[in-house]
Amino acid sequence: MSESLCGSWKLVHWKRISQDGSIGYPLGEAATGTLIYTADGRMAVHMAASGRTALDTTDPLGGTVEDRAAAYSGYLAYFGAYSVTDGQVTHRIEASLYPNWSGAEQTRPYTHDGPSLVLRTPPTTLPDGSVVVNEMSWTRIT
């Protein structure tokens, strides 16, 4: 494990950079999140849009299908194991709010400079055919 990545990180931004240079924010510019890397090779990440509407229920699995879909569309989370080699971090996802990622591996180049950590995805083709790079910028909490 890379000792320099171990700890807790707070989301600064999640940018989606298109091949034409335009920038979008999938969860909005005021998104919040936490990324945790442990010394024994475990990791977890949570990212949420700000201003998500509360559900009209006390049951976290309750509410209408539409209300749950709207609420959970503004949230991304997964956990698993990680390893670091040659300036890249690989997340071995055990389970994810987005079920297609459960059981998958995702490798991301990263840059780390003191209290800052930036993870980037390889170029990704979206359903509309556009190609983007997702950039998640973090600042160290602990």
| Digit-coded pLDDT (tens) for 58-107 | 999 899 999 999 899 999 999 999 999 999 999 999 999 999 999 999 99
Domains defined along the chain, listed by start? 7-140 (2.40.128.280)
Closest to 133 (Cα-Cα) out of 6, 124, 142, 60? 124
Q: What's the whole-model pTM score?
A: 0.92
- 86-110 as b/e: b if 16+ CB within 10 A: eeebebebbebeeeebeeeebebeb
Annotate the chain with three-state secondary structure: CCCCCCEEEEEEEEEEEECCCCEECCCCCCCEEEEEECCCCEEEEEEECCCCCCCCCCCCCCCCHHHHHHHHCCEEEEEEEEEEECCEEEEEEEEECCHHHCCCEEEEEEEEECCEEEEECCCEECCCCCEEEEEEEEEECC
| Digit-coded pLDDT (tens) for 4-49 | 899 999 999 999 999 999 999 999 999 999 999 999 999 999 999 9
| Digit-coded pLDDT (tens) for 37-64 | 999 999 999 999 999 989 999 999 899 9
